[in-house]
A and B are shown apart, each in its own frame.
Chain A
């Protein structure tokens, strides 16, 4: 069965600084990979997704993520963080033929210092 690890529970960055959130997955084949963001008390919003092709994917709000098969990673990056980016971020993995069921990581809480 697939699994997702987000090793950082909390991350604090200063506004304007760069950001990288880590995500490692475990799956025998090429997975579908996703990043979602959740503001307090709200649902999850899709930031970006990777299915195949170019390993660097662009998402909304200036985020990007890079799929590295050799490292089983799908890290999320943003060159300059804004205070409004403070939220919880979830990495998720889906598998082909899995009925579109996703396995989520436990999330990384991002705090942005002004």
Chain B
């Protein structure tokens, strides 16, 4: 069966510091991969999605970037974090029609 792992689970970072959140999927090949952000009191906002290695689509302009160095690895990064980057970040993968989520990473920028 397929599994998705996301880490770290919790992160407290100072403003201006870099960020790297990593996500890997097992048990499938060539999945679509996604990064979502969930801010307090809001729904989920799609940040990036990828249909293959090196293919990244950005949904909203922001201080973040994503990379897909391997088929089942998806990384969310920032060179300099802002306070507004705080939130709950969810990695997800999909087969043909259904999206499955990881456990999420809490990011607090202080």
Say how far A82's CB is from chain B's closest CB, in angstroms.
22
- Expressed in whole angstroms, the minimum distance between the Cβ of A35 and any Cβ of chain B is 12
Cβ of A43 to closest chain B Cβ, rounded Å: 4
Count residues on chain A whose CB falls below 8 Å from chain B CBs: 21
List of A residues within 8 angstroms of B90 by Cβ: 43-44
Number of interface residues of B (CB under 8 A): 23
Does residue B74 face the partner (Cβ distance < 8 Å to A)? no
A99 to B32, CA, bound (A): 8
Q: Does A70 contact B (CB under 8 A)?
A: no
B51 engages A94 (CB within 8 Å): no
Answer yes or no: A71 CB below 8 A from chain B CBs: no
Given contacts A32-B97, A101-B59, 16 further A-B contacts (CB under 8 A): A36-B101, A41-B106, A42-B104, A43-B6, A44-B90, A90-B43, A99-B32, A99-B57, A100-B32, A100-B49, A100-B94, A100-B97, A100-B98, A101-B34, A104-B43, A105-B43
Query: In the complex, what residue of chain A is closest to B6 when comparing beta carbons?
Result: A43
Residues of A participating in the B interface, judged by any CB pair closer than 8 Å: 32, 34, 36, 41-46, 49, 51, 90, 94, 99-102, 104-107
In angstroms, Cα B50 to Cα A38, docked, is: 24
